[in-house]
Structure 1
Amino acid sequence: HRADLILLDIEMPRMDGYQFASHVRNDEKLKDVPIVMITSRSGEKHRAKAIELGVNDYLSKPYQESQLIASVEALLGRTL
């Protein structure tokens, strides 16, 4: 099965979120799966790096539930 959407943090064990996003974008089977990065890193340099890697949306913690729902609905093209 293929994921409809990936929710991703930058800080993860073994492989950071940037590396994971890069692997996803370079995988023929997964490259079109939308990625929403949710992280405590709110700096513009972190956001820019994520967008450069192909992340579709970037939410800084703490985020509003309505922000996440709106992002997911927009990326999936349907209402949750």
Structure 2
Amino acid sequence: EKMAERVPDLMLLDIEMPRMDGYELAQTMRGDARLRDVPIIMITSRTGEKHRQRAFEIGVNRYLGKPYQEPELLRQVFELLSEVAARG
């Protein structure tokens, strides 16, 4: 509902979320013209290759396993936001 009001600059998702998992939300975003270019970082305890591969096939930009280092997350966020800014 909130995304109907405002397009986010970036989304942090987990595979395991209530009501709609991260895969479903990422797919929904990639299928929506307003949201398809919003960068997505998946942060999850599911670090297996099949989970990572599925996320990238859906269109997730970055994938971080838990536990993650805060500097690494911030670096990923700043890189993606810089890429968006460069595109205009």
TM-score, normalised relative to structure 1: 0.94
SS at match of 2:53: helix
Give the CA deviation at 1:10.
Answer: 0.3
Quick one: distance in 2 between partners of 1:59 and 1:37? Answer: 6
2:23 maps to 1:30: no
Q: 1:2 aligns with which of 7, 23, 46?
A: 7
Q: 1:11 aligns with which of 16, 34, 38?
A: 16
Quick one: distance in 1 between partners of 2:77 and 2:19? Answer: 27
AA of the residue aligned to 2:57: E
Unaligned regions of 5+ residues in structure 1, if any? none
Deviations 1:12-59 (A, max 9, x none): 112111011000000000000000000010101100000000000000
SS at match of 1:77: helix
Aligned to 1:75: 80
Residue identity over aligned pairs, in percent, reads 62
SS at match of 1:36: strand
Unaligned regions of 5+ residues in structure 2, if any? 1-5, 84-88
Quick one: distance in 2 between partners of 1:9 and 1:67? Answer: 16
More helix by share: 2
Quick one: distance in 1 between partners of 2:41 and 2:18? Answer: 18
Q: State how many pairs are aligned.
A: 78
